[in-house]
Amino acid sequence: MTRVSEHLNQALHDLMEADPRVHVLGEDVSDPYGGAFKVTRGLSTRFGDRVRSTPLSEGALTGVGAGLALAGDRAVVEIMFADFAALAFDQLVNFAAKSTSMYGRPVPVPLVVRCPSGGNRGYGPTHSQSPQKHFIGVPGLSLFEMTPFHDAGELFARMFALGQPCLFFEDKVLYTRRMYEGGVVDDLFRYELAGDVARVFLDGVTEPDCTLIAHGGMTHRALAAMRELLLEEDLACELLVPARLHPLPGLPGLERARHVCVVEDGSEGGTWGAEVARLLYPRLWSTLRRPIGLISAADSVIPAAPHLEREVLVQPGRIRHTIAEALS
C-alpha cells in the first residue's frame, strides 16, 4: 500500500532523477524536515542545491521559480499551505501566467506550484482553505489537483509539458490515504482512468441515478455518500474526478445520468463548481431533468474547533441528503 504523500514524494524523486533541469523550492523543504507534510523528504540529500529551503517569502519564491523556468530550467515550488498562495498572487497572475502570452508569442514557463489545501484537520481559518476558485479563469494558468487515482509522475510530466505555470492542489486529507490500484476502489466501486478524469462506478450500472463531479480532495467524502445512497436509498451513483480542474477536460458519460451534481470544498460563491456547471449546461441542456446540483462549503471562515469545522466544510451526510432530496 502506498500513501498519497509517499507516492508524491516518489514522483518528485523520479522527476529530479530523470531531469537535471528540475529544481524544488519552498519553505522547509530540505532534509531532515523534508517539508511540512514530508512530501519533499530525501530530495535535498540526493539532489543538493537543486532543492532549496527558502525564506518565508511566497511571492519571491514563486518569482524565483518563474525566473528559473524562464531561463530554461523547470521549477516545482511548494507553498506550505494553499492559503498562502494569496501571497504569490501577483507573481502567478501578473507575471508567470501572463508571460506565456503577453510578449506576443508563446513563452514557456514550466512552473508547478504545489499547494497543500483543504481542511478537516482543525488548522483553522488560514490553514484550511480550498482556494482553487481564486485562480480560475486566469489566462495562461492551469489548475490541477492530486487524486488517489492518478499517477503523480504522469501529472508532473503533463504539467511541465504544457509550458505554462500550473497550480497543483494536494488536499491534505489525501496525504495519509492510500493510492488506489488496479481499478478497484472497494467492495462496491471500480474505477477507470480516461485521460485526466477518473471515473468511479458500480459494476453493471450504465445509467446512474446521479453522477457526481468532485475534485481530488473530495473523493473519500463523495465515496462515503455514494455508499450510503446505494445501501440506504437504493440510488446508484457514479463519480468523476478530474485531475485537471481548469481548463476543464471533457467529462465522459454525463448524458446517461438522471442527475448531475458538483461537489467541492471551496466556500460558496464564484466557485470551481459553478464554472463546471456553466460549461456543462449547454452540453446537457436537452438531457437534464433538473438543475445541476452544486454542493460547496458554507460562506464562512473555517473554524478551528472540529465540531464547528465539520459544519462549514462539505461532509458525506450533506452530499447524501442533497442528492437524495433532488432525486425524490
State the minimum distance, in angstroms, from the CB of residue 29 to other proteins: 14
Which is closer to other proteins, CB of 92 or CB of 254?
92
Measured in whole angstroms, the distance separating CA 237 from the mean position of its chain's CA atoms is: 21
Q: Find, among 227, 288, 254, 266, the residue nearest to 83 by Cα.
A: 266
State the minimum distance, in angstroms, from the CB of residue 155 to other proteins: 23
State the minimum distance, in angstroms, from the CB of residue 87 to other proteins: 9
Class of residue 222 by CB neighbours under 10 A (exposed 0-12, middle 13-18, buried 19+): buried
127 is catalytic: yes
Q: Find, among 145, 167, 173, the residue nearest to 309 by Cα.
A: 173
State the minimum distance, in angstroms, from the CB of residue 110 to other proteins: 12
Which is closer to other proteins, CB of 65 or CB of 131?
65
By CB under 8 A, name the binding residues for other proteins.
52, 54-55, 57, 59-73, 75, 90-91, 94-95, 98-99, 101-107
List of residues 6+ apart from 232 with CB closer than 8 A: none
Q: Find, among 166, 162, 173, the residue nearest to 218 by Cα.
A: 173
| Strand (E) or helix (H) holding 78 | strand 74-78
Calpha distance 284→51 (Å, rounded): 47
Calpha distance 166→187 (Å, rounded): 35
Q: Which of the following is catalytic: 7, 127, 220, 246? A: 127
List of residues 6+ apart from 49 with CB closer than 8 A: none
| Strand (E) or helix (H) holding 190 | strand 189-194
Which is closer to other proteins, CB of 55 or CB of 282?
55
State the minimum distance, in angstroms, from the CB of residue 97 to other proteins: 12
Measured in whole angstroms, the distance separating CA 210 from the mean position of its chain's CA atoms is: 22
Which is closer to other proteins, CB of 112 or CB of 226?
112
Which is closer to other proteins, CB of 102 or CB of 161?
102
The SS3 assignment for 228 reads: helix
| Catalytic positions | 127
